[in-house]
Chains A and B, each alone.
Chain A
């Protein structure tokens, strides 16, 4: 759940919640049907939505190896699933919290950053055409959080790059 809302419940011993705090809670609750509806669409249409993205990606990177494109698409599908869950629970930190120490290094190691950045644009385009502006407003902050993880990916760490090609077993 939205971390700000979550902290509302932390200290019942301290004081009753104030009107503005209860309003924030009401707002979240009243947005829930919309969130659930969008979540269900993302779930039910996952394959169709992402196939559209995959086709466009493959067209754009026709010279690229299929393995890299698949790897990038898996990241994309994963990101959208996290974004969907974060949207459902209105948890602005979820994508960052769960993936910030993991995803950037995976991307760096597989060297899919350029493809991932393009993929994200395609996801936005594809989703923008399918969902209403109100729905996109719910989902976008979380997709943006995922995009920040991709664009923030540092230049690949030499060590991690080598780990993919050189197994540790053969090292000694």
Chain B
């Protein structure tokens, strides 16, 4: 027989750690917005995002997307470490012992609560060795970096660093559809570098994401 007392052995049942009304708080008299652990959060104004891109474009020209991607890589590395720390504190077990759905659900809720959009994992291409991340309502792709090109360089870096650390493989991430170009969501394809080499040219040609994925998986 199942014993309820055994299920409640530490008297807690983890649920939605990132629920927004619990996660975001603050010591506002000190001017601090914080998460539920007391780590500082920042509200990033859209005008600042726009200024960063304009400033970089002006100073570095074509290099803007590489700079942003690099920033994303650093951010992603730290974000992964902090995210795992928070989750293992909350679940009181190592991240490796979490089920993948618990981990992914937490990542989605984390994304949503921080106002970074709605993130979903598309595993349609997993048999071919690719993972596609879809993000709707991203605040990071609103402003174009270069005309007619995807503008998610920062997110590309974050996702690349995050999933590389999660899987222990050196992954590359490429953006293959962008909300700023009228797509229904931003799509990022993750895979091994040598298998994604052709993507940059295809994206530059303006190929739709379906065609790119088809070519990748042929």
Contacts and interface: CB of A to CB of B under 8 A. Distances in A.
B63 interface: no
Interface stretch (B13-21, B38-46, B79-87, B180-188): B13-21
Interface stretch (A7-15, A25-33, A51-59, A128-136): A51-59
Given A98-B15, A168-B163, A171-B131, A160 B8 contact: no
B205 to A, nearest CB: 26
Contact of A99 (B15, B104, B112, B190): B15
Interface residues of A, number: 38
A69 to B, nearest CB: 6
Contacts of B100: 163-164, 166-168
Q: What's the interface size class on B, roughly?
A: 35 or more
B169 to A, nearest CB: 5
A73 B163 contact: no
Contacts, number: 106
A164 B99 contact: yes
Nearest to B195: A172
A78 interface: yes
Interface of B: 1-5, 7-8, 13, 15-16, 19, 21-22, 99-102, 104-105, 108-109, 112, 120-124, 126, 129, 131, 163, 166-169, 171, 190-192
